[in-house]
Amino acid sequence: MTATAETQKPVSLTARSLSGRFWRFSAAFVAIAVLAPALALGWEAFGPSQGLWAHLLANVLTQAVVDTAILLAGVGLLVMALGTSAAWLVTAYAFPGRRILEWALLLPLAVPTYIIAYAYLDILHPVGPVQGTIRALLGYSSPREFRLPDVRSMAGCILLLGFVLYPYVYITTRAMFLTQAANLVEVSRTLGVRRSAVFWRVALPLARPAIAVGVSLALMETLNDIGASEFLGVRTLTISVYTTWVTRGDLAGAAQIALAMLAVVIVLLAMERYARRRQRYFATAQRARRFTPQHLGPIAGVAAFAVGIIPVLIGFVAPATYLTVEAAKRMKVNGISPRLYGETLNTILFAGAATLAVLVFGTVVAYAARALPGRATALFQRLSTLGYAMPGTVLAIGILIPVAALDGLIDRVSQMLFGVPTGLLLIGSGAALGYAYVARFLAIAAGSIESGYSRIPRSFDQAARSLGRTVGGTFRAVHLPLSKTALAAAGLLVFVDCMKELPATLLLRPLNFETLATHLYGEAARGTYEEAAVAALAIVLVGTLPVMLLARIGRRESGED
Amino acid sequence: MAGPDDPPALALENIGRRFGDTAALSGVSLALDAGEVVCLVGRSGCGKSSLLRLIAGVDQPDEGRILLNGAEVAGPGRFVEPEERNVGFMFQDYALFPHLTVEANIGFGLKALPRADARARVAEVIERVGIGALAGRFPHTLSGGEQQRVALARALAPRPVVLLMDEPFSNLDRGLREALRVETLAHLRALGTTAIMVTHDPEEALSAGDRVALMRKGRIVQAGTGYDIYDRPVSLYAAEFLSPGSRVEGLCRQGRIETPLGTYPAPAGSREGDRVVLFIRPQALSFAPQGEGVEARIVNRAFMGEREQFTLAVNGVAETLKLYASDRPHGAIGDWVHIIVNPGATLIFPHADTKCDS
């Protein structure tokens, strides 16, 4: 009778688990929340219209569209040239300092666009250090006799953005060179292609999808930028959205321009998606093998290093040094003001809270797609990661529309019921700003959590379920402990991005609420130079953390450690 | 053992499952009595693993019903989540949780028990499977065979209604595979566990289970004891899946099947002029003295240790024939020899069967 002794009846036979429903519902909620701002924009822009399109087109939009197009084209070309050649240099050639250069080339990622613009305004100021030195060398005594072209121009903006955004192209292209090119390059050599021709005939065509992905990411950042264009006097669409709302109080107009920006975003997104599909094809077509670089002689080696370090000097070393010197001067004389301490605390609290929320929501979306595979959860996952493509200003206007209406409603209801006016509760409490952070950075968390899950075999899920764990129980017992590292990495990336965030913060922050980024923006916009350098330095220093993480991942993937 | 009135431990009724346009499973019915071990065998992609996933509840059937001990766990309008079915599942990759010790892995399915009882049960299972020395270790420090034992212990710990094993031995070396198969089956027998084992290896299927179910393109084409399906395969496909052999075409004339190898009694129901295919396994052939049987030319001979395999060509037969010999006969490649066919060991199928041989 051992048979009956060793088998139990099924525990219980209730239909359909609550746990599964909870995860699916939560994922749907997150997706809708991320999508809501875009829908609100459409509603406001096409809704009860004030007939502003014609006015906008004539006065603002045409110029802004042209300027934005020129900026995007310029930055696109520059990051393509810088990123691709840097990636090729450190992959195809071996020279002293190459290892250092490999990760140093990532450093400009730590410098937000508004900080590089802020720093160079001063570095290249007619009475600043660079022009002063040149004049001293050439024997001129005043800026009136000699000055460089003004950095406050379209060309200046393109250059500066290009030198901090090229790492997007560098990362994707280098990964492609490292993992894919080896076999093909060697085969092409045996077929008679000279070393010097390999780049143009094999490597570059091979890397096209990777370059396209990198460029589209860099251009999304360009479109998102508000500080650099503002400081350097380029009237982009982002600036137009901002001024239309902040100085003219015209929400419908801002929504309409924001909608035009969304059109640009969709083009960039389509380009990225298309390129990624092709990249996947390339990636599966070839087995990964390490690329054997060509050893350079001493002179050529030094030259290669000198050329390779230029983007690092311009994009990171110069602004970071400048900020350090200025911050040190300031702190030696005045110390750090309590105001700056308060702002730092604001920044950390807000970024920290938003990071926690992003991790929770990102986990919900990624785990729902994993544990309850199907069309619905896959769609929720895709929708909830669209926020990363929305420029901060566009997102903020999209959030402002429903939140302002809701705030008005809450205020009226509260006054009616309790006789207490609540004012702008959601905006005043920072809830709206938190919402923006979550919507914008969810993709980062969801992506890195998902890639953590992809290393957990499916059989683990099935084993846990058949051993009696619910969908949620399986998450707690298996996925959470096994994806802790991925979660921590995601948290770091999101935290730093929240901390650096400027455009949405400017629009959605509560009254008289400053973060380090808005402080810097305020000073730079006013043209005063107080503690902005200290704030900027803090942002850059924290920003180097994810860069180091990225460099480590890169080293592991390229088979060194 | 199960009484005559007990419902089967597991019953599958007309199961169907589609993935997009392809039918992964259709019309699958099978019942297992308590304590029975059934091997599901078939080529990769025949739907055997999909069937296990449906029984475990990690996937849902589109048609049909699944009953455990007589209670419906999947069917129209009813679906019991996997965690509530108490079905054990053993995976090809073992799926041991890397962040848990062997002990914690085995106790993973015992969450519903009070802690002391769970600990006692873990100790009991560890003892039975004989892995006491591994209790505190982590899965990545274990050998393949040790991991397999831990996976078995983990699946058995909650006393499952039925244990599902998906290619449980395919990640092991050949020698170890056989030893562990014998050991695992001994545990299942001792505990009276009802089990389904999926395999693609016909030898494993024939030797391991009380019954074998042969699957093809999402259907069970034949189920029965190992002897049943080996001796009386229902189709040429089944015959060829279970053992090597050669096809020889023949024609039905006056109640007999005429082939280049001789004539055979026609099976019941054959009609004059029917074309048939004889399936001849190597053991049906033997060498004959000069003047007996038919002439064959040696195409190849391969020495394999305990036996030697001869490949032979016979005039008028398209395929070469295989013959096993263990007495090291004479004969070099190209020589002509005589062979005879044991008529009782040949299988005869209608000719139409040859068309569907994927």
Q: How confident is the model at residue B11 (pLDDT cuts 50, 70, 90)?
A: very high
Strands B63-68 and B71-75: antiparallel
- The yes/no answer on whether domain A18-49+337-530 falls in CATH 3.30.360.10 is no
pLDDT reported for residue B115: 92
CA distances from B184 to A3, B235, B250, B283 (A): 16, 32, 45, 31
Q: In this complex, do B58 and A13 lie within 8 Å of one another by their Cβ atoms? A: no
Residue whose pair of structure tokens reads 């094993």 in the numeric block? B165
Domains of chain B: 10-239 (3.40.50.300), 244-355 (2.40.50.140)
pLDDT reported for residue A286: 47
- Cβ–Cβ contact B95 with A under 8 A: yes
Distance CA B215, CA B232 (A): 16
In angstroms, the separation between the Cα of residue B58 and the nearest Cα of chain A is 6
pLDDT digits (tens, 9 = 90+) for A46-100: 765 555 666 666 677 788 889 999 999 999 999 999 999 999 999 889 999 999 9
Q: In this complex, do B158 and A8 lie within 8 Å of one another by their Cβ atoms? A: yes
Residue whose pair of structure tokens reads 């030697």 in the numeric block? B308
**Average pLDDT score over chain B:** 89
Distance CA B241, CA A546 (A): 57
Distance CA A111, CA A122 (A): 16
Nearest to A13 among B34, B73, B194 (CB): B73
Among candidate residues A494, A265, A495, the one with its CA nearest the CA of residue A394: A265
Helix H, strand E, coil C: the string for A124-180 is CCCCCHHHHHHHHHHCCCCCCCCCCCCCCCHHHHHHHHHHHHHHHHHHHHHHHHHHH
Q: Which of B37, B69, B84 to mutate to test binding with chain A, by most A CBs within 10 Å of its CB?
A: B84
Nearest CA in chain A to B83: A468
Residues 177-216 of B with CB under 8 A from A: 190-194
Distance CA A288, CA A298 (A): 30
Distance CA A236, CA A184 (A): 42
In angstroms, the separation between the Cα of residue B188 and the nearest Cα of chain A is 10
- Cβ–Cβ contact B69 with A under 8 A: yes
Q: What is the ipTM of this complex?
A: 0.79
CATH 1.10.3720.10 intervals, chain A: 18-49+337-530, 61-237+274-333
pLDDT digits (tens, 9 = 90+) for A386-426: 888 889 999 999 998 888 888 888 888 888 888 877 777 78
Q: What angle do CA B297, B290, B305 make, to 5 degrees?
A: 55
Q: In this complex, do B84 and A14 lie within 8 Å of one another by their Cβ atoms? A: yes
pLDDT digits (tens, 9 = 90+) for B44-62: 889 999 999 999 988 889 9
Residues 273-312 of B with CB under 8 A from A: none
Q: What is the identity of the amino acid at B32? A: L
Question: Is the per-residue pLDDT at A30 higher than 80?
Answer: yes
The model's pTM: 0.80
- The yes/no answer on whether domain A61-237+274-333 falls in CATH 1.10.3720.10 is yes
- Cβ–Cβ contact B154 with A under 8 A: yes
pLDDT digits (tens, 9 = 90+) for B336-355: 999 988 877 788 888 776 65
Chain A CB contacts of B160 under 8 Å are 7-8
Q: In this complex, do A467 and B68 lie within 8 Å of one another by their Cβ atoms? A: no
Distance CA A106, CA A551 (A): 7
Cβ(A533)–Cβ(A268) below 8 Å: no
